[in-house]
Amino acid sequence: MKGAFISFEGIEGTGKSTQVRLLAEALRRRGLQVTETAEPGGTPISLKIRQLLLSLDSRGMSPVTELLLYNAARVQHIGEVIMPALKRGEIVITDRFSDSTVAYQGYGRNIDLKLIASLDAIATEGLRPDLTLLLDIDVETGLRRNRDIGKTDRIETEEVSFHERVRKGFISLAALEPDRIRLVECSGSIEEVHQKTIPIVEDFLRMQGV
């Protein structure tokens, strides 16, 4: 089997992790080998970095420290989880990847996009998702959804204008790379959103010859 790398992206409260699980289950039912993973995370070291990044105790963290830590977590994740699974010919589905860094640290924190691209080249060595599903929702609804389930980490609790910039960043990225990044409006139910992702992924897999 030929491997494929799929990412889910989006602002807070789009239900990405649920959609990653549903898609992985749907693909496994067709007999495909799937690795489900998430950033920042996926490995013990990356999870420790995640705690540092998202803890409310890290409020004094500078934007560049934040940028470096997301990239550090990614290096471990690629080396320990993503590349080995792709080499085994599996489909890797990740909840977030480099596009989140462009959207959050670039558009959200206003770090120079060229600096972000240089660090990304070091961290990923050019690894890009083959397909990205960008789940989109309005900021207020997304933040409310997360508040309702008690999700209040350091990034989550940033002001609304920060999250608006992040959303704008994701939408700009989708406009730049329309073949890779497919926008999925996700204000409907979990099942409705899942049903929107399935034909996109089916088309993609057919094109990949999977």
The three-point CA angle 145-148-154 to 5° equals: 80
Binding residues among 144-173 for ligand TMP as defined by CB under 6 A: 155-156
Show the site string, 170-189: x = touches ligand TMP by CB under 6 A, - = not.
Answer: --------------------
If the CB atoms of residues 155 and 171 are measured against ligand TMP, the closer one turns out to be 155
State how far the Cα of 78 lies from the Cα of 124, in Å rounded to an integer.
7
State how far the Cα of 38 lies from the Cα of 53, in Å rounded to an integer.
14
State the residue number with the nearest CB to ligand TMP.
104
Pick from 4, 27, 96, 107 the residue near ligand TMP by CB under 6 A.
96
Of the candidates 11, 28, 20, 6, the one whose C-alpha atom is nearest the C-alpha of residue 194 is: 20
State how far the Cα of 119 lies from the Cα of 98, in Å rounded to an integer.
10
If the CB atoms of residues 145 and 180 are measured against ligand TMP, the closer one turns out to be 145
Pick from 37, 100, 132, 197 the residue near ligand TMP by CB under 6 A.
100
Of the candidates 199, 132, 127, 136, the one whose C-alpha atom is nearest the C-alpha of residue 166 is: 136
Show the site string, 56-75: x = touches ligand TMP by CB under 6 A, - = not.
Answer: --------------x-----
- Least distance CB 77 / ligand TMP (angstroms): 9
Pick from 3, 40, 129, 169 the residue near ligand TMP by CB under 6 A.
40
101 binds ligand TMP (CB under 6 A): yes
Handedness of CA 208, 210, 174, 62 (dihedral sign): negative
- Tell me the residue ranges of DSSP E strands in the chain: 4-10, 34-38, 91-95, 131-136, 181-185
Q: Which residues of the shown chain bind ligand TMP in the complex (CB under 6 A)?
A: 12, 38-40, 70, 95-96, 100-101, 104-105, 155-156
